[in-house]
Every structure is written in structure tokens, then in C-alpha cells.
Amino acid sequence: MGELLLVLLPAIVLVALIWGLAAALSPRDAGLSDAERYQRDLAERSAQHYAAQVQAATAARAQLAAKTRPSQNTQAHSDLATARKYTERL
């Protein structure tokens, strides 16, 4: 029985050592980890939100400009009316 332990114990240790080295030196999975996948998803959602905010701000700015600034036609009409009044006074 003692001889069996003398042979089996080093053999088990050797097998465990070889298995450990093989596991440590084998190439890792090239796929994305959950954390990397989450970071990419978060970055994508952040970019989409930023684009939506920029689009909303641009639309609001255009609406404000349309309400506060006269259009080119209105300005031309106003200039024409001013010129007519000026020529009528002469």
C-alpha cells in the first residue's frame, strides 16, 4: 500500500501541474467580455442621445430664427414699401 501511494501521489501532482500549465498557457477567448460589451453599448447609446440632442437644438434654433428674423421675402417687401414711400414723398 505504501508503494502505491509513493507512485500515485507524484503522478497526481505531475498531472495537476501539467493541467495547470496547459490551462495557464492556452490562448484566451478572443470574444468580448461582458464589461467590454456593456461599455460599447453604453458608448453607442450615449452617441445616439448626443446626436438626438444636437438635432433637437438645431431644430429649436431654426424655429427661433424663423420667429425672430423676417424672411427674405418679407424683408424685400419691406424695402420695396419703404422705397415707394420715399419716392411718393418726392
pLDDT of residue 83: 65
Cα distances from 28 to residues 18, 77, 84, in angstroms, run 18, 74, 83
pLDDT given at position 46:
97
pLDDT at 57: 95
CA-atom Rg of the chain in angstroms: 39
pLDDT < 70 regions, the chain: 30, 70-90
Each residue's pLDDT tens digit, 45-59? 999 999 999 999 999
The domain limits of the chain are 43-90
Angle at 17 between CA 13 and CA 23, to 5 degrees: 145
